[in-house]
């Protein structure tokens, strides 16, 4: 046993000493809001930079570094709004590529953190931060950074960093003379407090507002403001008026949230590229909405875009993406509280997908079902995008991603509600609790168009989704991951300046959800759960800005019109194919020209084109459209006969019959003049069935016999046939009844 332990220990030492371990992946990535430095970019990024840097020198195999990594990542996310003034970076000294850097900076222990002031020169080796290890707290590190920033000299001060020293009465009175802002927020606090400086740096990237700290010892200013509590916040205006700011708790989170929501305050977008004037999208009219409501317009728009647009990127649905689509429809059918006609369409499509098992489906077939091409009454999904609560200040902001988050939050809450109502019928399993989250995960993985977003969500799912074991945990898991995404995207180019990425729900929507512990914000998860269940309930859905059900159903085409439309499309395609074949045969077979001329000679001018009467087809006569020559001659003969009859009504019936016979015989003679071999080859090229070729080869005496009878003769034959049939039927019934009568009579006599 001891030998086995020694062998395992030796193997572990070998792995740690192996080159692959030494040069392995680091503990950080750019997704952590941490700049990853190496020999290629170290000098370029770190020196002569307008902001200060905190750099961690670590080794990926170091246990203390591994324990400290979550703290460093949390700090980077916590102060990411401070990036114009200070940023975080990391260097992996375990990578042999960076060994020279770590030696030149005399790094002997891990982790080592050094501070580089703005505009540092290449010879500067940084200021050492003491006591920075795995036991360091987020608060202590944040306060340490503020202390380091304040130690900057005037020549080294980051140009985008606001002043952090306390404001005086004179500065406040003359502030709007030198600064073009709308608001001046004054944080009144004790000298040892960091609240004012933290809020100042939190608002660093926002326009039309400035923040200054005021010490409680500044009696002139505190008396003017009428300060009653410390800490407190006051808004000062350009006309020398002011008012107090009332929040639930005087903490950094509450003050920052309140100030960002002031009218006119938005994230600075000066670094965004100017819009291309040749490709400007006209913004839709703004719609006033209540942020405390969920709008059905957003939910239906999410369904339209996801089911018709994003799924449409796949020409064929098969394998894993078909399975993902089935799960998505199954969840929608069970939990989506949609309008009746939307739910009916979802149910029809879901049943159709289930019936198909796992056979591949083309997108065209799928979209026909989703568009209700069968014309089922009262089943449709409104087309188009109709954002209300998810509308952005510009067309490319918010919209679909916002609505998809809303949709899945709603589905998790509805699943929990459904499970509660069915608790007495079935036992809840982990698979049931994960049903909505799994459907979302598969949809995002296989259909969500933003590949980077899909990979990030998949990473979050792999990290902890499998640990969800109840419906309430599913609700909170999705909420916490949504807030993590908001934190990651805050300040990105995709963020709407009018709707900054905040931690949700904000204090003004759920004050009970927030609290403070040791001056730091904490979530009250039970209150958050209660809020989410109320916010995403069907009772909180607003149906404003929607087209009415009756109006939508009135626009829906009846089944007959849809079928006629399908027939028209098919006939149009056939007509185009025939025209193309005509051109090809005209070019390829010169002998066909003679046939066309011959046929043209017996056609009447202005022949009918393809049209529709009550859904029936009237075929167009074309020169090359030869299938049955006898029937073609008959039609030509009839049309000429009717024309002659209209021109000369006073002629006798005998003369008209003679003229008809002559025309008929002439037509037959013309048909005889056709080269049968050429005609047969033409028909074979057009893939005409053998029955049509047989029709051409019929005996001429049969045709003559059929055409020698007039309409009156044919009518009489039909009448005689009907009368004879009735006579035979009556005789049959008579003898049958007579037979039964005799049989009954003989039986009665014997009795």
Which residues are designated catalytic?
A: 62, 65
List the beta bridge partners of residue 618.
Answer: 611
Residue 273 C-beta-side C-alpha neighbours within 13 Å: 4
Contacts of residue 307, Cβ cutoff 8 Å, sequence gap at least 6: 370, 381
Closest C-alpha among 322, 293, 306 to residue 385: 306
Pairing mode, strands 242-244 and 232-236: antiparallel
Residue 751 to residue 749: CA distance in whole angstroms: 5
Residue 365 burial (10 A CB sphere; 0-12, 13-18, 19+): middle
What stretch of H or E contains 445?
Answer: helix 435-446
Helix, strand, or coil here: 121? coil
198 to 82, 204, 243, 484: CA distances (angstroms) = 9, 10, 21, 21
Helix, strand, or coil here: 251? coil
Closest C-alpha among 650, 657, 751, 638 to residue 708: 657
Token pair belonging to 650? 């006073």
Helix, strand, or coil here: 356? coil
Residue 468 to residue 431: CA distance in whole angstroms: 10
Pairing mode, strands 266-267 and 206-207: antiparallel
Residue 589 to residue 130: CA distance in whole angstroms: 94
Is 40 within 8 Å of 74 (Cβ atoms)?
no
The DSSP 8-state label assigned to residue 499 in this structure reads B
> Taking CA 497 as the corner, what is the angle to CA 495 and CA 500, rounded to the nearest 5 degrees?
65
């Amino acid at each position: 046993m001891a030998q086995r332990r020694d062998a395992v220990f030796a193997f572990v030492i070998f792995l740690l000493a192996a080159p692959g371990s030494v040069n392995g992946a680091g503990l950080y990535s750019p997704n952590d809001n941490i700049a990853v430095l190496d020999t290629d970019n170290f000098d370029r990024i770190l020196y002569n930079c307008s902001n200060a840097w905190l750099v961690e020198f670590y080794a990926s195999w170091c246990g203390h570094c591994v324990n400290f990594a979550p703290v460093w990542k949390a700090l980077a996310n916590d102060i990411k709004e401070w990036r114009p003034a200070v940023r975080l970076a990391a260097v992996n000294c375990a990578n042999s590529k960076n060994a020279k850097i770590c030696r030149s900076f005399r790094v002997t222990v891990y982790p080592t953190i050094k501070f580089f002031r703005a505009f540092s020169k290449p010879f500067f080796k940084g200021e050492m931060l003491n006591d920075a290890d795995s036991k360091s707290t987020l608060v202590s590190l944040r306060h340490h950074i503020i202390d380091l920033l304040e130690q900057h000299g005037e020549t080294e001060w980051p140009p985008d960093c606001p002043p952090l020293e306390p404001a005086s009465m004179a500065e406040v009175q003359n502030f709007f003379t030198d600064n073009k802002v709308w608001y001046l927020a004054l944080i009144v606090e004790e000298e040892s407090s960091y609240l004012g400086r933290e809020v100042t740096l939190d608002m660093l990237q926002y326009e039309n507002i400035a923040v200054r700290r005021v010490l409680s010892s500044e009696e002139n200013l505190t008396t003017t403001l009428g300060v009653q509590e410390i800490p407190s916040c006051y808004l000062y205006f350009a006309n020398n008026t002011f008012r107090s700011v009332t929040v639930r708790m005087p903490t950094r989170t509450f003050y920052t949230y309140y100030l960002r929501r002031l009218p006119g305050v938005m994230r600075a977008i000066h670094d965004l590229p100017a819009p291309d004037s040749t490709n400007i999208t006209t913004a839709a009219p703004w719609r006033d909405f209540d942020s405390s409501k969920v709008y059905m317009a957003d939910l239906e728009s999410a369904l339209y875009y996801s089911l018709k647009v994003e799924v449409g990127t796949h020409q064929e649905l098969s394998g894993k993406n078909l399975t993902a689509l089935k799960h998505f429809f199954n969840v929608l059918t069970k939990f989506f509280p949609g309008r009746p006609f939307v739910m009916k369409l979802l149910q029809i499509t879901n049943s159709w997908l289930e019936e198909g098992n796992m056979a591949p489906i083309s997108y065209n077939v799928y979209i026909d079902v989703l568009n209700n091409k069968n014309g089922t009454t009262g089943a449709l999904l409104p087309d188009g995008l109709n954002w209300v609560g998810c509308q952005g200040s510009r067309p490319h902001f918010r919209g679909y991603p916002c609505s998809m988050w809303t949709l899945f939050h709603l589905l998790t809450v509805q699943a929990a509600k459904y499970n509660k109502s069915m608790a007495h019928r079935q036992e809840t399993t982990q698979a049931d609790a994960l049903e909505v989250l799994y459907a979302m995960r598969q949809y995002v993985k296989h259909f969500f168009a933003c590949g980077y977003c899909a990979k990030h969500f998949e990473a979050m799912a792999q990290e902890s989704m499998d640990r969800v074991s109840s419906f309430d945990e599913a609700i909170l898991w999705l909420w916490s991951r949504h807030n993590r995404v908001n934190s990651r995207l805050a300040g990105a180019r995709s963020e709407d300046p009018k709707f900054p990425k905040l931690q949700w729900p904000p204090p003004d929507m759920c004050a009970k959800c927030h609290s403070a512990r040791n001056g730091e914000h904490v979530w009250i998860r039970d209150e958050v759960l209660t809020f989410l269940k109320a916010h995403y309930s069907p009772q909180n859905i607003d149906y404003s800005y929607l087209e009415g059900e009756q109006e939508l159903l009135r626009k829906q085409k009846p089944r007959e019109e849809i079928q006629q439309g399908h027939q028209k499309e098919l006939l149009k395609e056939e007509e185009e194919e025939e025209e193309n074949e005509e051109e090809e045969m005209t070019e390829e077979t010169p002998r066909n020209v003679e046939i066309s001329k011959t046929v043209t000679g017996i056609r009447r001018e202005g022949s009918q084109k393809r049209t529709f009467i009550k859904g029936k087809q009237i075929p167009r006569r074309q020169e090359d459209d030869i299938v049955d020559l006898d029937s073609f001659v008959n039609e030509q003969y009839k049309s000429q006969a009717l024309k002659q009859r209209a021109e000369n009504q006073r002629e006798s019936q005998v003369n008209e019959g003679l003229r008809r016979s002559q025309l008929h015989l002439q037509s037959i003679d013309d048909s005889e003049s056709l080269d049968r071999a050429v005609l047969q080859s033409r028909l074979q090229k057009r893939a005409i069935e053998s029955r049509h070729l047989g029709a051409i080869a019929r005996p001429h005496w049969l045709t003559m016999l059929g055409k020698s009878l007039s309409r009156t003769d044919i009518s009489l034959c039909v009448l005689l046939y009907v009368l004879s049939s009735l006579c035979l039927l009556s005789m049959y019934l008579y003898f049958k009844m007579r037979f039964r009568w005799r049989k009954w009579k003989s039986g009665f006599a014997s009795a």
